[in-house]
Structure formats: C-alpha cells, structure tokens
Amino acid sequence: MNNITARSWALALILLGLTITAYKAYELGLPLTPEQNTDVWTVQAQVSFEGTGKPAKLSLFIPENTPGFMLLDEDFISSRYGLTIAKTNENRRADWAIRRAKGDQTLYYRISVARSNLSIDWDTKPGFPEPPDYPEPYASAIKAIIDDVREESADVESYTLELLKQLNSSAPDENVELIRDKATSAGQWTSEIINVLKGVRIPARIIWGIDISDAANNANLRPLLQVHNGDNWLTFNPETGSEGIPANYLVWKVGDRDISSLEGGNDLETRFSVTRTYTELIDVARQGAAKRDSFFSEFSLLSLPVQNQNVYQLLLMLPLGALLVVFLRTIIGLKTFGTFMPILIAMAFRETQLFWGVIMFSLIVSIGLMIRFYLEKLYLLLIPRLASVLVIVVILMLLISLITNQLGIERLLSISLFPMVILAMTIERMSIIWEENGAREAMLQGLGSLFVACMGYVVMTNENLMYLIFVFPELLLVILGLCLWMGNYTGYRLTELVRFKGMLGKEPR
Amino acid sequence: MRFFATPRELRARGVLGMNQRNSDYVMRYNPRRLYPLVDNKLETKRLALEDGIAVPELYAVVSIEHQVQDMANILADHKSLVIKPAHGSGGNGILVIDGRMGSHFRKANGSLLTIEAIQHHTSNILSGMYSLGGVPDKAILEYRVDFDPMFEHISYQGVPDIRIIVFKGIPTAAMIRLPTRDSDGKANLHQGAVGLGINIATGETTNAVHHNLLVDRHPDTGYETSGIVMPHWDDILRLAMQCADTVGLGYLGVDIVIDRTLGPLMLELNARPGLSIQIASGQGLLNNLHRVESHKQLPTDIDARLQFAKGLNQSEDIMQVIN
C-alpha cells in the first residue's frame, strides 16, 4: 500500500516534470542541450561619413521586430556622440549627434541574434489606402492588370500571389512591361507593386532585411513585400512571389525610408557585415527570455536579474547532488561522513577545480587530524575543541594561500569559499571514528566521502546538466520523483553483495 | 571464493539487506515515538526495572559538567564500573574500568587511566560527542558485568554479549559476540569481534565468523567455538521477549550478558539492530521473519512463544515453498 502510493507519486512527479520539459523544448523551442543551435550571429552596421567641422546628426534604423530570430544583445560604438533611440510603431532609430565632426567619422551598431522559432508578429494595423490617381499611360495599364488579377483570386493572399505571378511572368504582356520599365532596383520594384496594390486598396509595405549566412563581410539589405490581410502581415518575395519570410532573413526595418540619413556631413555610407559566433546557450536563453511571451518564460529563472541567476544556477545543482548521494548510499551502499557533507565539499571543489580541491581537502584534513589528536590529550571540552579545530583550519587555509601565492599557483587563492565549518566537523568526526572504530574504518569513510565529493563535482559541474536544470527547473520534480522511487528500493545494496558473500558457503535453507 | 554474491543467491538464502530492513521492518514495526525508550539507555533501564527485567545496577548519572568534578567520590565507592553515554550507539563511548592501580584506574585492556582522563571522557559524553546528532547527553555509571567463567576461554578482554533479534515478540535469530585482540575488547563484529551463531532451539553455538570469514576457533585463545551451550538459555530467551513486550517495538535487537552471579542481564536494546547476525549465524534473517509474518495468530503467552521460537527452524517446509 505504502509502496504503491509512493511509487504513484514518484511516477506522477516524473511525468509532470518531463511533460513540462517537453512542452518547453518542443513548443517554445528551448534547446535541450547547450550544443544545439548555439551559433549566434553578430550583424554589424558600419556608418561612415566625412565631417565638415560643423554639428552633425546621423540617423540609422535598427532592428525592432525580428521574426525567426531573437535579439540577444546590441551595442553602439560611437564614442563621442550623443545617442538617443527613437521608437515608432514599427521601427527603431538610433540618432547620433555631435557638436563638431571633422574628417572621417565611423560609427558602429552591433546586434547579436540567435535563431529561434518564436515568431514575433507586428501588431500594427494599417488603414486602407486610397486608390491613387495614376498618370497615363500607367493608369490604364494598372487597371487592366488589377481587373485581370481580380478574376483569378479570392482574398488578399491569393490576390497578391496572382499579382506577383503576373508581374514577374517570364512572358509579360505590354501592360506589365510598362510597369517593369519604371523599376531599376528591387526596392523600386517593390514600391511599384505597392503602388499597384493601392489601386485595390490592399495595405502593403516594404521591409528590408539581411540574409544571415556564414560570415559575409559585405551584406546588403534586401527588400520584401508585405501585405495586410486584416489580421496579419503576409510576406512575399517581390521578385519570385514565394510567400513567407525566408529562414535566414533578418528583418532590419520597415518602410521605404533610407536606412541612414545625415545632416551636416558628406559621403554617407552604410555597410553591413555578418559574423557567426558561439556563445554559451544559457546566455542565449537568458537574454532571449525577456523577449518571449509565454507563461513559462514569465516565470522562468531566466527573467531574474543576472546576479541572482548565478546563485540559482549553483543552487539548482544541489538537488542533483542530493540525488547522487541517495543513489550512492541506498543503491551502491557507500559510507560517508554525514549525509550531504560530501556534496558541500563538491560545491567547494567548483571554486578550486577537482585536482587542487582534492589536494586541499586531503591536506587540511590530515594536518587537522594530527592537531586534533594532540588536542585530545589536552582534555578540552567538545565545543571549545571544535572551535579550536575550526580556527586551525582557517589558519591552515591562510598558510596554504600564502604559500601557493608565493609559488604562483593562483588556483588555490580561490579557496575562500571552501567550507571551513564542514572541514572542521569532518576532522572531528573522523577522529572519533578513528578512535572508536579504528583507522581502517576512518580511512574507509574518509575515502568514501572524498569519492562521493568527486562524483558530486563531476555531476554538478557538468555543463549539459547545469544548462538543463537551469532552463528546465521543472526537472526538479523529476529528481524528487526519483528520490521517492529510490526511497522505496528494498533490494540489496551493491556493497552488501560483497559483505554477505561469506554466506555463499551455506546451503540455502 | 568469489569476490561477491549475486542478489539472486542472497535472496535464495533469505539475506535481509539494509534497505529492506529499514523499509519493511524497522519503519513498519517500530513506531518512531517508541524510539526514545531504547535510544535513551536511562529510560530503558527505568522501564526494565519497572517490569522486573534484570539489568546491571545503576550507580550514578552524571548530567551536568559540575558533577564531573565530583566523580572521584563515585569512583571511590566501586572497584569496577562502566561509564557510558545514555544516547550512545554502536558501543561507542563506553569506558570499562576494571580496577585500580594506586591512584590510577585500570581499563579492561590493562592500560592505566588517570582520574583526569576519566573526567575528560565523561565530559565528552556530556557534550554529546557520542550521541546521535551531537545533542548534549548524560553519562551513566553502572555495574560492570562479571562475565560467566565459561566465556573465559573464548573471549579476549571485554564482555561477550548475546544479541537476539525479537520480531513480533518471537526470538528469531541469536548470536554471541566475543571480543578479540583486534577488536580492542569491543564486541562489534565489524571491529573484529568474533560472531557465533546460536541455534535458538538448543542454545548451542553453530558456526563462527571473524572478519566476515568462517572460523572454528577463537583467533586469540584458540578454543573451539562450535557446540558451546549457552547457560540459562531459556531464561535468556524469556528475558529478550519480556524486553520486546516492555518497549513495544516489533523489530528489536536485545543485547544480553551473562553475569557470573546475577545470571542474564539486559544490557541495551536496539531499534535498528544490525545485519551482521546473518553472517554469524550463517542464515538469512528473512527465513524466520517470513515464517513469523505468515502466522496470522501468534501465541501470546511467553512460554508458548518460547516453544514457537524453538520450532521455527524446524519448519523448513514454508521456505521451500517460497523459494
């Protein structure tokens, strides 16, 4: 009965944890491993102009909504310039100003983005445009095209598709030819299409973006056409008619205004470059969280201030360490000093790294033990003796720090967090076991503790696990479930198989 | 011999593992509220005396540091005595004083102690060095058992004690632990004491285990260890059953010593008795535990229970069905 209740709880918790994890991984697109999609692109816009020695004002459109990507970070490199960011419905604009600009001026804007399948849609809703008065001969050409397309379409989407098909036809009629001749660039061509769409009062606009691909030093803005169907903006390639925003297309700005503008200078030039970088995905997820709109991301640890996040990152590894202790003690049957002491030691190893941590631990415990055995002869009371051991531990650590500093081993300088109280207690317990149960038992438990601490260190510093627990804290439910499950394990411990081997000589009875 | 046994082999021999002991026996049959009765040896002693169970005489209790200074007076009254923590476990913190040598006290192993060393040991006990969780404790000063001469040949210093597992009021397993030179006079198997299994039906020792290996002689005295019949065996079993009735724990370890003049005395009780008894007796505990559990109607009268316990190992049919 008891077993079944506990097992059901365990199962329910494990399932719940895994379900939420799966939801977040597959629905919200949080990657399960830090390796997955860790590439982050940095797009740099370089704006340069020739100063005239007079006040200068420079404006640059910068990305606001970026479907298919999440903004991780942005950076303005413009040392002496005053910077303000202007925000409109659809765009953001960086406005730089300076009292005196002389000679070549170069300013940079850098943005880091990572792929993400969380699409962010524009929520602007345009009005219906008035049909313009087209001058002849365009008026009759456009009218012919409009009527032609209307015949073969049902709604805004199919109308646009059909229009693009006709306008981009490889065998155009004279009406299409007439419009085509007006456009000499992709931008103008898109404007022409928008102009035609106005004739049927379909709201349309142009968006500009950059193709994100492996390092490109000279990337160019490329326009796409967007029409509004009453609910959403639909995106089309004005030259091929294919629908949707391409996977590697980073939307930079909306509208047909120039990407950059300048007052008080000459030779304005804007260049884009794209580089791929790799960053820790925890950072990606952390920075991206704010941009997301979901119940689970609002309550995510990623929305905490960064310094708190670091504490939690450490804290969240504790349950994993506890699970390890449960496993090593109930399934394997290792003996340790105290239940969770090894895990606290393992936490300390994080500061010093494993090798030096083990050396520190062994050194302090063995020197401490020797001093503790001497203290025994002084017939001190327990608490003063414990305090003395603690003071000695601190002195030992001080000495080790000073010595290693002289030797130039900087690693050991970071031992300040080494849990001194725990070390003192370890020394005390070890000496009692030494006296009561012999040196062998004391060494056995000491080595057992050290072993568990090492295992704990390996588990608790595993990048994948750290990432996983931090981004999916509901995995704690799974850990809880596993603890409940193991709490019901009544089988033999691994060490008991050795302990009771002597019984093999007997016939089973 | 192989380095390990498979779980299947152990199960076939009815070996009880630590996890199963905890979850299926200790947690199921021992209500936690009863633990203090056995964890506090003073309380155990008080209960035992109320119910007329024979225990070593209590000389004094040292409960505050101030009393440690006056210990010389108590020590002066008794030639030999035992000082132990009220909340000790696993035999830790027990100091046995055998006699005097001038101004010094002689320990069981012959080494000499000053009064200061004894006082230091006592204040260690008070500060909780040997108690669970380090909570402040009391020190018990009690009669030092003068063990029955029959154990002289098979014991090295220390006091041999008999451990009986009483399950639902029925003694189901028994062993006697003999201190050796390498156990430093302590009767703990993992410290190197010799464990001798005792046949519950006859009170006769069966096989012996030293450091987990089968032996047939005491490693220090060289005397044969099998076939020794425990004196007062029925009284010992009755004593164990009485203890279980008194504290009300369903799964209990009872430690009994046989005094030269006073006969069997209950030394202490254990709500989480160890598993080494299986190695000593060469029998898994589960066999008899299952036999007791499979009986819906266990006898209540103490003599009927005695007979039931003695018949346990004879009824091998049940286990053969289970296996």
pLDDT of A473 > 90? The answer is no
Least confident of A408-417, A443-452, A472-481: A408-417
Of A487, A502, A509, the CB nearest to B209: A502
Q: Which of B143, B161, B190 marks a domain boundary?
A: B143
For residue A63 the two structure tokens come to: 């990305």
Pick the closest to residue A482 from A288, A324, A302 (CA basis).
Answer: A324
Q: Tell me the backbone φ, ψ of residue B221, rounded to 5 degrees.
A: -95, -20
pLDDT by residue (tens digit) across A273-285? 887 766 555 565 6
A52: helix, strand or coil: strand
pLDDT at B193: 85
Confidence of residue A412 (pLDDT cuts 50, 70, 90): low
Mutate one of A337, A436, A483, A485 to test the B interface: name it (highest B CB count within 10 A).
Answer: A436
Cβ neighbors of B288 (< 8 A, separation 6 or more) are B167, B172, B173, B312, B313
Å from A329 to nearest chain B CA?
Answer: 10
**Interchain proximity B10–A492, CB inside 8 Å:** yes
> Residue range A23-43: average pLDDT?
71
Same domain, B101 and B178: no
A431 to chain B: closest CA residue? B129
Same domain, B134 and B256: no
Task: From chain A, pick out residues whose CB is under 8 angstroms from the CB of B7.
Answer: 491-492, 497
> Residue range B209-219: average pLDDT?
83
Q: Is A1 on the interface with B (CB under 8 A)?
A: no
A428 to chain B: closest CA residue? B129
C-alpha A81/C-alpha A56 separation (Å) is 9
Q: Is B132 on the interface with A (CB under 8 A)?
A: no
Residue B81 lies in a domain: yes
Q: Which of B112, B143, B174 marks a domain boundary?
A: B143
Other C-beta atoms within 10 Å of A428: how many? 22
**Interchain proximity B124–A506, CB inside 8 Å:** no
pLDDT at B55: 94
pLDDT at A509: 40
Same domain, B29 and B173: yes
**Interchain proximity B279–A502, CB inside 8 Å:** yes
Going by CATH, does the domain composed of A39-125+208-228+246-279 fall within 2.60.40.2250? yes
**Interchain proximity B19–A330, CB inside 8 Å:** yes
C-alpha B215/C-alpha B209 separation (Å) is 6
Least confident of A147-161, A360-374, B181-195: B181-195
Q: Is B318 on the interface with A (CB under 8 A)?
A: no
pLDDT at A1: 44
- Answer for the pair A454, A399: CB distance below 8 angstroms, yes or no: no
Å from B123 to nearest chain A CA?
Answer: 7
Of B17, B191, B278, the CB nearest to A491: B17
Give the burial class of A266: count Cβ atoms within 10 A of its Cβ; 0-12 exposed, 13-18 middle, 19 or more buried.
exposed
pLDDT at B176: 92
For residue B221 the two structure tokens come to: 């005295």
B88 to chain A: closest CA residue? A436
Mutate one of B1, B4, B6 to test the A interface: name it (highest A CB count within 10 A).
Answer: B4
Same domain, B178 and B242: yes
Within A461-474, residue ranges assigned H as helices are 463-471
> Residue range B193-218: average pLDDT?
87
Q: Which of B120, B143, B166 marks a domain boundary?
A: B143
The CATH number for B23's domain is 3.30.470.20
C-alpha A418/C-alpha A346 separation (Å) is 10
Of B4, B19, B184, the CB nearest to A489: B19
Least confident of A102-106, A135-139, A387-391, B202-206: A135-139
C-alpha B217/C-alpha B262 separation (Å) is 28
* Rounded CA Rg of chain B: 20
Q: Is A73 on the interface with B (CB under 8 A)?
A: no
CA A311 to the chain's CA centroid: 17
- Please give the residue range of the domain that contains residue B291: 7-39+148-322
Å from A343 to nearest chain B CA?
Answer: 19
pLDDT at A322: 92
pLDDT of B117 > 80? The answer is yes
pLDDT at B317: 45
pLDDT by residue (tens digit) across B233-263? 999 999 999 999 999 999 999 999 999 899 9
**Greater model confidence, B151 or B275:** B275
The CATH number for B86's domain is 3.30.1490.20
Residue B46 lies in a domain: no
> Residue range A286-304: average pLDDT?
57
- Where on the phi/psi map is residue B91: left (φ > 0), alpha (ψ -120 to 50), or beta? left
Confidence of residue B265 (pLDDT cuts 50, 70, 90): very high
C-alpha A210/C-alpha A189 separation (Å) is 18
Residue B208 lies in a domain: yes
Residue B49 lies in a domain: no
**Greater model confidence, A169 or B61:** B61
Confidence of residue A299 (pLDDT cuts 50, 70, 90): low
CA contacts within 13 A on the Cβ side of A412: 23
Residue B255 lies in a domain: yes
pLDDT by residue (tens digit) across A186-211? 888 888 888 888 888 888 889 999 88
pLDDT at B94: 87
Average pLDDT, chain B: 87
pLDDT at B17: 92
Interface of B with A in 273-312 (CB under 8 A): 275, 278-279, 282-284, 287
Least confident of A184-198, A212-226, A377-391, A475-489: A212-226
Least confident of A36-45, A171-180, B29-38, B64-73: A36-45
**Interchain proximity A501–B92, CB inside 8 Å:** no
pLDDT at A146: 83
Same domain, B289 and B173: yes
pLDDT by residue (tens digit) across B32-43? 999 888 889 999
**Interchain proximity B3–A498, CB inside 8 Å:** yes
**Greater model confidence, A478 or A379:** A478
Q: Which residues of B64-80 are buried (b: 16+ CB within 10 A; e: fewer)?
A: eeebbeebeeebeebeb
C-alpha B11/C-alpha B286 separation (Å) is 9
C-alpha A456/C-alpha A347 separation (Å) is 8
Å from B6 to nearest chain A CA?
Answer: 6
> Residue range A325-332: average pLDDT?
92
Cβ neighbors of A486 (< 8 A, separation 6 or more) are A326, A327, A330, A331
Confidence of residue A16 (pLDDT cuts 50, 70, 90): very high
pLDDT at A422: 82
Confidence of residue A293 (pLDDT cuts 50, 70, 90): low
Least confident of A139-143, A279-283, A447-451, B100-104: A279-283
Least confident of A10-14, A360-364, A404-408, B106-110: A404-408
Same domain, B224 and B105: no
Same domain, B285 and B176: yes
pTM of the model: 0.67
Torsion angle in degrees (nearest 10) through CA of B293, B299, B303, B308: -40
pLDDT by residue (tens digit) across A427-457? 888 888 887 777 888 888 899 999 999 999 9
Same domain, B169 and B298: yes
For residue A17 the two structure tokens come to: 């944890």
Return the domain boundaries, chain A. 39-125+208-228+246-279, 128-202, 316-471
Mutate one of B2, B21, B23 to test the A interface: name it (highest A CB count within 10 A).
Answer: B23
Same domain, B311 and B189: yes
A440 to chain B: closest CA residue? B191
Average pLDDT, chain A: 81
C-alpha A310/C-alpha A316 separation (Å) is 10
pLDDT by residue (tens digit) across B140-170? 999 998 888 888 777 777 778 899 999 999 9
Same domain, B119 and B179: no
pLDDT at A295: 56
B214: helix, strand or coil: strand
**Interchain proximity B278–A506, CB inside 8 Å:** no
Å from A1 to nearest chain B CA?
Answer: 12
Of A438, A493, A504, the CB nearest to B17: A493
> Residue range A463-484: average pLDDT?
88
Interface of B with A in 43-82 (CB under 8 A): 65
> Residue range A391-414: average pLDDT?
77
pLDDT at B322: 41
Confidence of residue B315 (pLDDT cuts 50, 70, 90): low
Å from A509 to nearest chain B CA?
Answer: 6
For residue A485 the two structure tokens come to: 């499950």
Residue B51 lies in a domain: no
State the total domains in chain B.
Answer: 2
C-alpha A292/C-alpha A280 separation (Å) is 19
> Residue range A341-354: average pLDDT?
83
pLDDT of A52 > 90? The answer is no
> Residue range A42-46: average pLDDT?
86
Q: Which residues of A398-417 are buried (b: 16+ CB within 10 A; e: fewer)?
A: eebbeebeeeeeeebeebee
Please count the residue pairs, one from chain A and one from chain B, whose beta carbons lie less than 8 angstroms apart. Answer: 109
C-alpha B210/C-alpha B10 separation (Å) is 20
Same domain, B183 and B97: no
pLDDT at B75: 86
Task: From chain A, pick out residues whose CB is under 8 angstroms from the CB of B13.
Answer: 503, 506, 508-509
**Interchain proximity B124–A382, CB inside 8 Å:** yes
User: Measured in Å, how far apart are chain B's first and last C-alpha atoms?
Assistant: 24
Confidence of residue B321 (pLDDT cuts 50, 70, 90): very low
B122 to chain A: closest CA residue? A381
C-alpha A466/C-alpha A461 separation (Å) is 7
Q: What is the ipTM of this complex?
A: 0.79
Same domain, B258 and B307: yes
Count H helices and E strands in chain B, helices first. 13, 13
Interface of B with A in 95-124 (CB under 8 A): 116-117, 119-120, 123-124
pLDDT at A34: 65
B275 to chain A: closest CA residue? A500
